[in-house]
Amino acid sequence: MLRTLLLLIAFIVVVVMALIWTGYINLNRHADGTVSIDAKSVEVGTTTTNVQVPVVRTETRQVEVPNVAVTNGQGNTQ
């Protein structure tokens, strides 16, 4: 239980460090020692756009396939 809690805290710290490093969170330090946090807005949604999608089609063709005949000594082929 404690190990899981520590792992979760470490993961949160890494995520916050990544957000600061990428610039999504900006820490502004002032001359009097105060820190202000400016966070960029993140928009999540969908848009409609045209993309090329590979399409798989099936068609019937006549091809030669291997054929194996087995006889049981009585003249019957299967």
Q: How far apart are CA 58 and CA 21, in angstroms?
A: 50
Q: Answer whether residue 74 shows pLDDT above 70.
A: no
Q: How far apart are CA 56 and CA 39, in angstroms?
A: 45
One-character DSSP codes across 6-54? HHHHHHHHHHHHHHHHHTSEEEEEPTTS-EEEEE---------------
11-20 confidence digits (pLDDT tens): 999 998 888 8
In a domain, 27, yes or no: yes
Q: Which residue range is the domain that position 10 belongs to?
A: 2-39
In a domain, 76, yes or no: no
How many domains does one find in the chain? 1
Cross-strand pairs, 25: 39
32-57 confidence digits (pLDDT tens): 877 777 777 878 889 899 999 999 99
